[in-house]
Amino acid sequence: MKTVIEYRVPYADTDQMGVVYYANYLVYFERARNELLREAGEPYAKMEEDGLMLPVIESYCRHKRPARYDDLLHISAWVGDTSGPRVTINCEVRRGDELLAAGHTVHACVDIASRRPVRTMPDFIERLRKE
């Protein structure tokens, strides 16, 4: 499963150089990741109600081209590697066909009550992997 969302860059997302501030790309990744979970039938709020959370334990973003104020971006997210309690979510930010940034976040599936890692739920991962 691959989720793609549209996002128009507001002026507040840009820096003094007139381009999207580099840290905002991780916020864009989060926007797409939340929609990916929702489309898979497991919104993040429901995960927390079920006693699980997915803290970020690693993030990476390769910046290729700058986005600017009022650009219409297409931000995509899809599941990558999964291993034990870890799940990787890959992301891309595009303006039309042009790749602006690509990267990933790695999450640990954690039980809220014990704050201990737990194996990711196979049915959840299967729903994320569906085309």
> Whole-angstrom Cα distance, residue 50 to residue 102?
31
Instruction: Establish whether 15 is a catalytic residue.
Output: yes
CB neighbours of residue 27 within 10 Å? 13
- Active-site entry in 15, 81, 111, 123: 15
Catalytic residue set: 15
